[in-house]
Structure 1
Amino acid sequence: MTSVASLFAPVEADLSVMTENLKQLIGAQHPILYAAAEHLFGAGGKRVRPAIVLLVSRATRGNQEITQRHRRLAEITEMIHTASLVHDDVVDESELRRGIPTVHANFGTRIAVLAGDFLFAQSSWYLANLDNLEVVKLLSEVIKDFAEGEIQQGLNRFDTELDLDTYLQKSYYKTASLIANSAKAAAILSDRASAEAENFYHYGKHWGLAFQIVDDILDFTASTEGLGKPAGSDLRSGNLTAPVLFAMEQKPYLKTLIEREFSEEGDLEQALDLVNASDGIARSRELAQYNAKAAMACLNEIPASESKEALLNLCEFVLSRLY
């Protein structure tokens, strides 16, 4: 399988500079924040979101160098994403992220909540300083979407009446909104026509949905070691994802197990077996493939470049994680 790092070759140097900048931007304020920043930005994350911003920036600049505003947008994107992860881990009481202890496991819940708040506030400050109202609106929408997605997920726990459209909407809020809006923002900073910027928005939206659906499949098919968290943890917490929604259509008893919140011994194991015995995973894979192909189609009008090729290859990569 192609490594994600190799796909970022056109922006690898940009990403290295960004990572060091982030440690300084976040950590300069306080020793604890510096320790948290070292922990967050040195945690072996894939840096997919800022990489997409930088690839779109280079794809829309032609032979010209990207600007400092493009670089700052990539940093803002990673700050917003990381803030959401820190808060998610507190809400979900997750002890591990990417196989290492989470911020709240290392520093305590109080510091984790404040570190997430600080990251959101810092990203908003740098966003305002881009001096582009349209970009400010796009990224502010993302922060609202994160909260909306988290609230939706909390309200819909163990809800067997949840439908696929609501699941996809929540997946957009929690994952795809940031990728879609930051990709569009990068094109706007390159002064591209609104139709082209909109194409990059839809690229990010479909890519983000494909990424989330694949993540939700891996929650059932990958090992605990590969996930960096226990397999089946979404279902255990009542977060019903595409494989479960499809499986419930075939395996009605799965609803019973979910509605009693796996309160009896062996319920969770039985539920996992029912999902694996259904075509839920296969149908979810088809849904991910549909979105990956839709993302690729959004780049049809974009001139050929190394960066465009990387954006196309990222669509193949997101599906290759399943194999």
Structure 2
Amino acid sequence: MTPATSLFTPVEADLRILADNLKQLVGNRHPILYAAAEHLFGAGGKRIRPAIVLLIARATMLEQDITSRHRRLAEITEMIHTASLVHDDVVDESQMRRGVSTVHSLFGNRIAVLAGDFLFAQSSWYLANLDNLEVVKLLSEVIMDLAAGEIQQGLNRFDTNISIETYLNKSYYKTASLIANSSKAAGILSDVSPETAEHLYNYGRHLGLAFQIVDDIFDFTSSVETLGKPVGSDLKSGNLTAPVLFALAEKPYLEVLIEREFAQEGDLEQALRLIQESQGIQQARELADHHAKLATEHIAVLPPSESRQALINMANYVLSRLY
């Protein structure tokens, strides 16, 4: 499997600049917040979201260099993503993320919530300073979507009646909205046509959905070491994802186990076994494949370039993580 970072060759230098800038953007007026930010941005991470912004910037600015506004948009995108992770970890009570201690496990819940709020506020301030109302609207919508997705997930816990459409809507809010809207915003800063901007939005939307579906499949097929959390932990917390929803149509007893919230000994293990025995994981793979293919079709409208090829490869990489 190709590591994600090898897809970023056209923007490798840009990502190094981004890593330096992120810590400076937070500033050191607040020592605890600065320490939290340094921990977050120093933890590495794949930087997939800002890399997509920078690749789109380069793929739509073939005759000239990308602007400082493109770079700032990539930084804002990573700040919004990081802020959402800090809040997610508080909600999920996660002690570790990708093998690194979470902010709330190091600094406590209060600081973690405030650090997340601070990063959202900081990203909004830098966003306003881009002086582009359309871009401000797109990224402000993302911040609303992130909260809406988290609330929707909380309200739908252990609800076996939710449809695949409801699941995809929640996945859009939680994951795809940021990729879709920042992709479109990068195109707008390059002065692309409204039609091209819409294709960029749809590229990000379908890529983000494929990404989330693949992540949800990992909850059933990966190891504790790879996931950084126990296998089946989404299911245990009542978060019903694509493999579960497909399996429910095939294994009626799964509904009984979920609706009693795995209250009896062995319930969770039995539920995991039923999902493995069903076509649920395979159907979820096909759904991820469908969205990755749509993403590729939308990005193909851009003229050929190394950056466009990297964006196509990104869709293939999302799927290759399954094999």
Q: Is residue 80 of structure 1 aligned with residue 80 of structure 2?
A: yes
Instruction: Look up the equivalent residue of 1:276 and give its one-letter code.
Output: Q
Counterpart for residue 94 of structure 1: 94
Q: CA RMSD in A?
A: 0.7
Supply the distance in 2 between the matched residues of 1:157 and 1:16 (Cα, whole angstroms). Answer: 40
Structure 1 position 44, deviation (Å): 2.7
Structure 1 position 105, deviation (Å): 0.7
TM-score (norm 1): 0.99
Supply the distance in 2 between the matched residues of 1:229 and 1:54 (Cα, whole angstroms). Answer: 31
Supply the distance in 2 between the matched residues of 1:253 and 1:133 (Cα, whole angstroms). Answer: 51
Gaps of 5+ in 2: none
Matches within 5 A, 1:111-130: 111-130=111-130
The alpha-carbon distance between structure 1 residues 27 and 275, as it changes in their structure 2 partners (threshold 3 A), is farther
Instruction: Look up the equivalent residue of 2:164 and give its one-letter code.
Output: L
Structure 1 position 28, deviation (Å): 2.0
Q: Is residue 64 of structure 1 aligned with residue 64 of structure 2?
A: yes
Counterpart for residue 167 of structure 1: 167
TM-score (norm 2): 0.99
Q: Deviations over 1:35-54 (max 9, x none)?
A: 11121112131100000000
Counterpart for residue 212 of structure 1: 212
Supply the distance in 2 between the matched residues of 1:128 and 1:258 (Cα, whole angstroms). Answer: 45
Counterpart for residue 190 of structure 1: 190
Q: Is residue 252 of structure 1 aligned with residue 252 of structure 2?
A: yes
Structure 1 position 27, deviation (Å): 4.0
Counterpart for residue 280 of structure 2: 280
Q: Is residue 227 of structure 1 aligned with residue 227 of structure 2?
A: yes
Q: Deviations over 1:68-108 (max 9, x none)?
A: 00000000000000000000110111111112211101110
Counterpart for residue 24 of structure 1: 24
Counterpart for residue 266 of structure 1: 266
Instruction: Look up the equivalent residue of 2:52 and give its one-letter code.
Output: I
Counterpart for residue 301 of structure 2: 301
Q: Secondary structure at the match of 2:161?
A: coil
Counterpart for residue 48 of structure 1: 48
Supply the distance in 1 between the matched residues of 2:65 and 2:254 (Cα, whole angstroms). Answer: 54
Counterpart for residue 177 of structure 1: 177
Instruction: Look up the equivalent residue of 1:73 and give its one-letter code.
Output: L
Please identify runs of 4+ aligned residues in structure 1 that moved more than 4 A. Answer: none
* C-alpha contact (below 8 Å) 1:99/1:227 kept by paired residues: no
* C-alpha contact (below 8 Å) 1:10/1:307 kept by paired residues: yes
* C-alpha contact (below 8 Å) 1:100/1:228 kept by paired residues: no
* C-alpha contact (below 8 Å) 1:49/1:179 kept by paired residues: yes
Supply the distance in 1 between the matched residues of 2:294 and 2:66 (Cα, whole angstroms). Answer: 27
Structure 1 position 63, deviation (Å): 2.4
Counterpart for residue 137 of structure 1: 137
Q: How many residues align?
A: 323
Query: How many percent of aligned residue pairs carry the same amino acid?
Result: 73
Counterpart for residue 10 of structure 1: 10
